[in-house]
Amino acid sequence: MPEQITVTVNGAPVAVPSGATVAVAMVLAGVACRTSVSGEPRGPLCGMGICFECRVAIGGIPHCRSCQVLCEQGMQVTTEN
Amino acid sequence: MSKAGHDVAIVGAGIVGAACADELGRRGLSVVVVDGDVIGSGATAAGMGHIVVMDDSEAQFALTRYSQQLWQELRPELPDDVEYEQCGTIWVAADEEEMIEVRRKRDYYSKRRVPTDVLDPHALYRLEPNLRPGMAGGLLVPEDGVLYPPCAARFLMERAQKRGAKLHLGNSVAQIGRGQVRLVDGTEITAEIIVNAAGARAAELTPGLEIKKRKGHLVITDRYPGFVRHQLVELGYLKSAHSVTGDSVAFNVQPRRTGQILIGSSRQYGAEHKEVDHSMLVRMLQRAQEYMPGLAQLSTVRTWTGFRAATPDKLPLIGPWAGNVTAEKTGSATGDKSIFLATGHEGLGITTSLGTARILADQITGTKPEIPIEPYLPSRTAKEYAHA
């Protein structure tokens, strides 16, 4: 069993297995990564860093592709409007 | 007015051509516009869309201010996608020497009733907290603005069409002269007057025209709302824009309504290829980061280039072109009364498109212009050659 670590998504704790991407944490948290310009919810699509649909703010840095970043203990993730 | 097919044929569907078509149509002339590409495909789409008053010369000031006021009058009619924002320009002064220039500019503008605000460092950082610490101050010109040029050109062209203008796209112009525009597919369009509004390519159609391509690079970022709030230009920009030879870069960033940031600027003569020149791009971005270090952390979405139509004296060519001394020597275009010019706007064509259209239409219809037009007449260059 991989070690469990905890990140926060919009302030709420989410437990993920060590080695999971932030996209996994978003799916486990059950929230959309961001809202599109036309107001639609958006989340991971390609899963390989190409489509930019899964952007979130990580540690205050906007527009990070959640599928390309590994979770770290205590990481603060926020969804984007 | 004409036995020909149209009163006026305009070559070039950029913002200048579109504005001229709209204005000539408003005055009741029959107009046709031809372009090998789509509306606004040249410098119109490549540029930033800064509606700015400039004071390099009295003539440049007169045309930019006149045009800016025309944009302000037009503003209520502009569709939302033109994204007109009166965000103001801040001329950023890096040191006390540049603050002298700030005060000179303030005095110049205030004499001509352009509102400005001299910013001390405290005021500057309150307005633009992401500038590097240690700046001396700046000059805010609150009536300057930004817009999205391709949509502005489309709006003007559609309004021209509502006034009866015809539009032929997708077929390049091979030759113009003697009341005739010949397209590459052999189509011939006749008109009493032909307006060469082909921007940086104008000299290809009108030999003897002193227009050089001045290449520029731009970068656009992802959306970072609030990171930049005004069009920011370093005062050293003037040194860059004034240089008539050599490559130069200057800090010039613009906030878009989307929260994206346009980052410029570069100027190059003699670079004919449109590929991104990585050494220029690096210089340009380094300059931008010197003024705004946080830009380095932002994601960019796209990088591109464009060509400004540059004249030797930095003023556009607006009016009849009956061939200058050079043209007479080469035997081309001599005595052709049908050719008019509306080109050579360098980096100011978005701003000055509306003033250009008025001045051109005034000349064609014999109306008294609202500002003195002598500095923009193409015949000024003929005189220079004659005296040379």
pLDDT higher than threshold 60 for residue B114: yes
First CA to last CA distance, chain A = 36
Q: Which of B29-38, B112-121, B270-279, B351-360 has the lowest mean pLDDT?
A: B270-279
A37 touches chain B (CB under 8 A): yes
- CB atoms < 10 A from the CB of B129, how many? 11
At A2, the pLDDT band (50, 70, 90 cuts) reads: confident
Residues forming a β-bridge with B191: B6
pLDDT in tens, B171-184: 999 999 999 999 99
State the pairing for strand pair B145-146/B117-119. unpaired
Mean pLDDT of B314-321: 96
Determine whether A37 is exposed, middle or buried from the number of CB atoms within 10 Å of its CB (0-12, 13-18, 19+). exposed
According to the model, what pLDDT value does residue B241 have?
Answer: 61
Residues of A whose CB is below 8 A from B224: 62
pLDDT-above-70 percentage for chain B: 92
- CB atoms < 10 A from the CB of B122, how many? 9
Contact B258 A63 (CB under 8 A): no
Report residue B123: phi and psi, to 5°: -65, -40
According to the model, what pLDDT value does residue B376 have?
Answer: 98
**In whole numbers, what is the pLDDT of chain B averaged over residues?**
93
pLDDT in tens, B289-307: 999 999 999 999 999 999 9
The sign of the CA dihedral B59, B64, B65, B71 is positive
According to the model, what pLDDT value does residue B382 have?
Answer: 62
Instruction: Name all domains of chain B by residue range, CATH numbers in brackets.
Output: 6-46+149-211+312-387 (3.50.50.60), 86-144+212-310 (3.30.9.10)
If one compares B325 and A32, the residue with the highest pLDDT of the two is: A32
Mean pLDDT of B127-144: 98
Query: Which of B251, B258, B236, B200 lies closest to B46 in space, CA to CA?
Result: B200
Element (H, E) at A30: none
Residues of B whose CB is below 8 A from A61: 297
Contact B224 A62 (CB under 8 A): yes
pLDDT in tens, B251-268: 999 999 999 999 999 999
Element (H, E) at B303: strand B300-310
Judge contact between B195 and B342, C-beta under 8 A. Answer: yes
- Read off the CATH number of the domain in which A42 is found: 3.10.20.740
Judge contact between B50 and B144, C-beta under 8 A. Answer: yes
At B2, the pLDDT band (50, 70, 90 cuts) reads: very low
Mean pLDDT of B62-90: 97
Peptide bond into B265 cis (omega under 30): yes
pLDDT in tens, B345-374: 999 999 999 999 999 999 999 999 999 999
According to the model, what pLDDT value does residue B66 have?
Answer: 98
**In whole numbers, what is the pLDDT of chain A averaged over residues?**
95
Interface of B with A in 194-253 (CB under 8 A): 222-224
pLDDT higher than threshold 90 for residue B62: yes
Contact B297 A37 (CB under 8 A): no
pLDDT-above-90 percentage for chain B: 88
The residue count of chain B comes to 388
Element (H, E) at A57: strand A55-58
Residue B387 CA: distances (Å) to CA of B327, B352, B382, B384 = 15, 29, 9, 5
Report DSSP letters for B15-75, one per residue.
Answer: HHHHHHHHHHHHTT--EEEEESS-TT-SHHHHS--EE----SSHHHHHHHHHHHHHHHHHG
Residues in CB range of B80: below 8 A, 6 or more apart: none
Number of structural domains found in chain A: 1
At B240, the pLDDT band (50, 70, 90 cuts) reads: low
At B322, the pLDDT band (50, 70, 90 cuts) reads: confident
- Amino acid B38 reads V
The sign of the CA dihedral B239, B241, B244, B246 is positive
Determine whether B340 is exposed, middle or buried from the number of CB atoms within 10 Å of its CB (0-12, 13-18, 19+). buried
The whole-angstrom distance between B280's CA and the closest CA on chain A is 27
Mean pLDDT of B146-171: 97
Place of tokens 């309150």: B126
DSSP letter at B369?
Answer: P
Interface of B with A in 292-331 (CB under 8 A): 297, 299
Distance separating alpha carbons of residues B179 and B202, to the nearest angstrom? 17
Contact A62 B258 (CB under 8 A): no
According to the model, what pLDDT value does residue B336 have?
Answer: 86
Contact B222 A61 (CB under 8 A): no
pLDDT-above-70 percentage for chain A: 100
Contact A63 B222 (CB under 8 A): yes
User: What distance lies between CA B14 and its chain's CA centroid?
Assistant: 10
| Parent domain of A62 | 4-78
